[in-house]
Amino acid sequence: MLHHQDIDRSLPIPEDLRGIFNLARAQEAYRVISAWPGYAPTPLRDLAGLARQLGLGRLSYKDEAGRFGLGSFKALGGAYAVCRAQPTRHHCVTTATAGNHGRSVAWGAQLCGCRAVIFVPERLSPGRAQEIEALGAELVRVPGTFDDAVRASARAARAHGWLSIPDTCGLELLPAAVDVMTGYTVLVRETLERLPPREPPTHVIVQAGVGGLAAAVLGYLWEGLGARRPRFIVVEPERADCMLQSIRAGRPRALDSGLETMMACLACGEPSHPAWQLLSRGADDFCAIPDSLVAPTMRLLATGRFGDAAIVAGESGVAGLALLIAACRSSSLGAALGLGPDSHVLVIGTEGATDRGIYHSIVGTAPAAATGT
């Protein structure tokens, strides 16, 4: 399923969004995050063998599995927002998570020496729950979906005076949610620094839950490269495609289905409002993929096919690459996305084996220690 919109590339970021998505904020996030202990840019892997197989000019994979030892790019966002909120020892921070954001907030709370209470959907896997609790956070399981957990965390923050660190927000702009997105821009900066300045990718594919990551990436590229920015493709699970449904409806839409997808960290039913605002005005394509594409993509990466390095990637982490492979194998979708031998595609491997048990059951081997997951 694909929705394409014709974007006028000569337009700058809309005025009302410039306070949220700008290079000054991104620069500040980089200054702070790159000074944290253990900071190192994550690898930008060249998948030359797979690119040849798919008939592409170049395929770059930004591998976030080893980010601060937390397994995903989310380490950049929640922890940064916690630090910006400057909690004291008496404070408690709270958030809702489908897994990775909660781990980041718990880690940030640990760095700042404050308490963290993390609200999760009742179906959160035991492996993901353990990773959050291992960082000293208290976990509260909420009946329903991620979106129910978001509301429960916001209610608890109001009732107890806790600092709320959401990765999503509605019409009322929440500074912490903006900081979370700003933290993510570090990975875009690192990527561009590794590529020749005059040769940015032609396409970028980013997986979306609430859309915060996709908006952070698009905002940075739009500000930094203007009309030269790559074609921007947002991908979601078919059963949690709130961005695709919203763009089709022409306004933000909340899904009422159960969001049952194996891409658990993308199982969100409502777009984050600022993310929606930017993506609906600047992203080129919105796609949804079925769960059936996930396991083969994880296994392909794990075995290092076509002479490429072996990569450990989790279920939500492979969504962008899974769409790319499907598109290159279908002449109509590949053509609709403008993919071909002159394309340089950037995908973001947003997570490693963030649930080791699930990874093992899908891939058949334990995640390699080398990736730091």
Ligand X SMILES: Cc1ncc(COP(=O)(O)O)c(C=O)c1O
Which phi and psi (to 5°) does residue 115 adopt?
-85, 150
**Chosen residue from 47, 169, 188, 210 binding ligand X by CB under 6 A:** 210
**Which one of the spans 49-57, 157-165, 169-177, 204-212 is the region binding ligand X (CB under 6 A)?**
204-212
Residue 222 and residue 283 in contact, taking contact as beta carbons nearer than 8 Å: no
Site pattern 308..347 for ligand X (x: CB under 6 A): --------xx------------------------------
**Rounded to the nearest whole angstrom, what is the least distance from the CB of residue 302 to ligand X in the complex?**
16
Q: Are strands 115-121 and 2-4 parallel, antiparallel or unpaired?
A: unpaired
Hunting for tokens 């965390």 — which residue is that?
A: 153
Rounded Cα–Cα distance for residues 201 and 199 (Å): 6
Structure tokens at 146: 């991620």
Q: Binding-site residue total for ligand X (CB under 6 A)?
A: 21
Spacing of C-alpha 335 from chain mean position:
26
Rounded Cα–Cα distance for residues 270 and 146 (Å): 9
Site for ligand X in 162-201 (CB under 6 A): 167
**Chosen residue from 42, 72, 164, 373 binding ligand X by CB under 6 A:** 72
Which phi and psi (to 5°) does residue 33 adopt?
-70, -35
- Using the minimum distance from each CB to ligand X, give the nearer residue, 288 or 334: 288
Which residues lie across from 346 on neighbouring strands?
Answer: 60, 204
**Rounded to the nearest whole angstrom, what is the least distance from the CB of residue 274 to ligand X in the complex?**
11
Which residues lie across from 58 on neighbouring strands?
Answer: 344
Site for ligand X in 267-306 (CB under 6 A): 268
**Chosen residue from 58, 67, 74, 189 binding ligand X by CB under 6 A:** 74
Site pattern 341..370 for ligand X (x: CB under 6 A): ---------xx-------------------
Rounded Cα–Cα distance for residues 360 and 341 (Å): 35
Rounded Cα–Cα distance for residues 146 and 259 (Å): 9
**Chosen residue from 101, 203, 253, 356 binding ligand X by CB under 6 A:** 101
**Chosen residue from 209, 230, 237, 352 binding ligand X by CB under 6 A:** 209
Q: Residue numbers of the site for ligand X (CB under 6 A)?
A: 72, 74, 98, 100-101, 167, 207-214, 265-266, 268, 316-317, 350-351
